[in-house]
């Protein structure tokens, strides 16, 4: 998909999205050809939720850990019980 079309679909600024997409290309998470962006074989395998080998949840887990740390360090937090969800089951 092209940057302009994707920016319209996501309701974001084209220039900002283009910088992000080009950064992802530099990290070899996307390929760009003739102004269109595509997943690499690796991103299709490991970052597509349709893949049996998807590991994107690890990135989201790390993001939430950092977010929780920032909230805890700011002193603006309340203690909540931790719920572990693995393969759709709550533990």
Bridging pattern class, strands 85-86 and 89-90: antiparallel
- Of these ranges, 38-42, 47-51, 57-61, 82-86, the one predicted with the greatest mean pLDDT is 38-42
Total domains, the chain: 1
| Per-residue pLDDT reduced to its tens digit, 26-47 | 999 899 999 999 999 998 888 8
> Does 7 or 63 have the greater pLDDT score?
7
Q: What is the pTM of this model?
A: 0.60
pLDDT confidence band for 55 (50 / 70 / 90): confident
Q: Which domain holds residue 10?
A: 3-90
């Amino acid at each position: 998909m092209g940057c302009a079309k994707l920016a319209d679909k996501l309701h974001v600024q084209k220039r900002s999205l283009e910088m992000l997409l080009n950064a992802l290309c530099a990290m070899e998470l996307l390929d760009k050809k003739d102004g269109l962006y595509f997943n690499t074989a690796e991103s299709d395998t490991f970052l597509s939720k349709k893949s049996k080998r998807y590991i994107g949840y690890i990135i989201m887990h790390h993001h939430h850990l950092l977010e929780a740390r920032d909230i805890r360090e700011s002193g603006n937090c309340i203690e909540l019980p931790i719920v572990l969800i693995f393969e759709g089951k709550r533990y």
